Amino acid sequence: MASEKNPEIEKMSFEDALAALEAIVRGLESGQQKLEDAITAYERGAALKKHCEAKLAEAEARVQAIVARADGSLGLKPEET
């Protein structure tokens, strides 16, 4: 599998990448692809999975930075030192 980043995938939103990954999984599960096509699809699926995981981690970090204050308003969590 190539270790270089795929610029096309890097530009995708989480939702678009997830939809593309789901389509690849359905295609692989069907068993109707030629071996070389299945390998290429698997490699693209692995890159899409990694991209989705990165997007989720980024979103999680952003959400964790927002905390509810005692008065119910929202604020940013202070940086830990």
pLDDT mean by block of 10 residues, the chain; 81 residues? 71 97 96 95 97 95 71 62 52
33 sits in the region (left: phi over 0; alpha: psi -120 to 50; else beta) called beta
* Pair 6, 54: CB distance under 8 Å: no
pLDDT for 9: 96
pTM for this structure?
Answer: 0.74
Q: What are the pLDDT digits (tens) for 64-80? A: 777 655 556 666 666 55
Task: Domains for the chain: give ranges and CATH numbers.
Answer: 7-76 (1.10.287)
pLDDT for 5: 74
Place of tokens 């299945």: 38
* Pair 58, 69: CB distance under 8 Å: no
